[in-house]
Amino acid sequence: MVGRKILLLGGTGDAYDVAEYLLEIPEIDVITSLAGATKTPRRPVGQFRIGGFGGAEGLSLYLKQEKIDFIIDATHPFAAQITRNAGVAARLSEVPIAYLVRRAWNQEKGDVWHPVPSVEAAVAKLCELSESKSENVFLSIGRKEIEKFTELGSLQFIIRSVDKPSVVDNMSNATWIKGRGPFKYKQEYSLLKKSRIAVLVAKNSGGISGAMKLRAARSLKLPVILIQRPAAPDGDVFDNWGELIRFATYKLGLL
């Protein structure tokens, strides 16, 4: 069967790999959808679109209009709303969906981790660890939830992202560093060392490249406040994109 269409909900490094692989399969047309969270996103190979769909109903309409045959959700593990909308839209449109959810990081010998269930809990734990001392904190949680840390005026925050978060302009105790991952171990070690970081705050997003900052923190014996990820979605979930693609091609009748 020729021209089976896959909608790839992307934005992660894994999603770019999936798009490149699918592009090599003649019977498949893939459209990658990017949320538009950054001003200059890395462009995937093949067709792509940028922006939201207007919730689950909007996505369901898009699936029908584009005659999508299969959905692959390869978004960030913390993109819970997008994942929920994709699941609802898939059911409404009766389009099969599979989820690529990379494995969470596990604590290793030498790690000084403080797992917390939410960003709010991370703020509370940071207050507890800092004990009102003026310390440097590497805040590696993405741009959207930085404002929840703005009241911790005694601390100095180092924030790294592709685009400068607007909230940083109103934070006298924040230093922004422009950067797009993946980052190597030596880069992360150098950043933590030169910036005299006392605490790392991060999300347990999993993946090899993101783990380099945790490895660097381990080497420097730094405490890490690690925000635990939302529960995995119900349905066909894979932690390996090769297995997911085999499943997708099977469901599309291409095996």
Q: pLDDT tens digit string along 102-114?
A: 999 999 999 999 9
**Cα(195)–Cα(140) distance, integer angstroms:** 14
Question: Are residues 141 and 97 located together in one domain of the fold?
Answer: no
- Per-residue confidence (pLDDT) for residue 1, from 0 to 100: 45
Here the CATH number for the domain that contains residue 222 is 3.40.50.150
**Is there a single domain that holds both residue 63 and residue 150?**
no
- Pairing status of strand 47-50 against strand 70-73: unpaired
- The domain tally of the chain equals 2
Asked whether the beta carbons of 68 and 6 are under 8 A apart, the reply is yes
| pLDDT over 70 at 202, yes or no | yes
Burial of residue 30, with CB atoms counted within 10 A of its CB: 0-12 exposed, 13-18 middle, 19 or more buried: buried
Most confident of 35-44, 128-137, 222-231: 222-231
Of the two residues 173 and 130, the one the predictor is more confident about is 173
pLDDT at residue number 132: 61
CATH code, 59: 3.40.50.720
Residue 98 reports pLDDT greater than 70? yes
pLDDT (mean) for 208-220: 95
pLDDT level of residue 37 (50, 70, 90 thresholds): confident
Same domain, 94 and 119: no
Show Cβ contacts of residue 100 under 8 Å, excluding neighbours closer than 6 positions: 14, 15, 18, 72, 73, 74, 238, 239, 241, 244
217 and 136, same domain (yes or no): yes
Do both 122 and 212 map to the same domain? yes
Q: Domain check: are 89 and 164 in the same one?
A: no
One domain for residues 69 and 134: no
Q: Are the beta carbons of 33 and 66 closer than 8 angstroms?
A: no
pTM above 0.85, yes or no: yes
Residue 2 has pLDDT above 60, yes or no: no
- Residue 158 carries which side chain, given as an amino acid letter? I
Q: Which domain holds residue 128?
A: 112-227
| DSSP assigned state of 71 | E
Same domain, yes or no: 22 and 97: yes
Mean pLDDT of the chain: 94
Residue 180 and residue 78 share a domain = no
When mean pLDDT is compared across 15-24, 29-38, 124-133, the lowest value belongs to: 124-133
Give yes or no: residues 213 and 165 share one domain.
yes
155, 135 in Cβ contact below 8 A?
yes
pLDDT for 55 beyond 90: yes
- Is the same domain home to 70 and 145? no
Ramachandran area for residue 31 (φ above 0: left; ψ -120 to 50: alpha; else beta): beta
Model confidence at 36, pLDDT cuts 50, 70, 90, reads confident
State the helix-helix crossing angle for 13-22 and 241-251, rounded to 10 degrees: 40
Are residue 203 and residue 245 in the same domain, yes or no? Answer: no
